[in-house]
Amino acid sequence: MCTTAKILKDKKCKDCGWPIVDACCNDSFCDFKDASKWDWWQYCSNKGCKNHNGEGVFQDTPDWIIDTN
């Protein structure tokens, strides 16, 4: 199994300020929600945040993610 995920160093959650996880939609992650329809999935690392479930990403950054640069 090859699982690929990383913390995005220049992004954070607009609602809670926690780091964003960027995950490749492969292997068992494809069973999560509709992740099989996406190449990448981004979510807030804070389990208590409303954005923890995240969303699939194609080219645009979700509106709940802000740039810290």
pLDDT, tens only, 14-55: 999 999 999 887 766 666 677 777 778 899 999 999 999 999
- 59 pLDDT above the threshold of 70: yes
Highest average pLDDT, of 40-44, 56-60, 63-67, comes from 63-67
Helix/strand/coil for 35? helix
Dist CA 19 CA 37 (whole Å): 24
- What CA–CA distance (Å, rounded) separates 38 from 26? 9
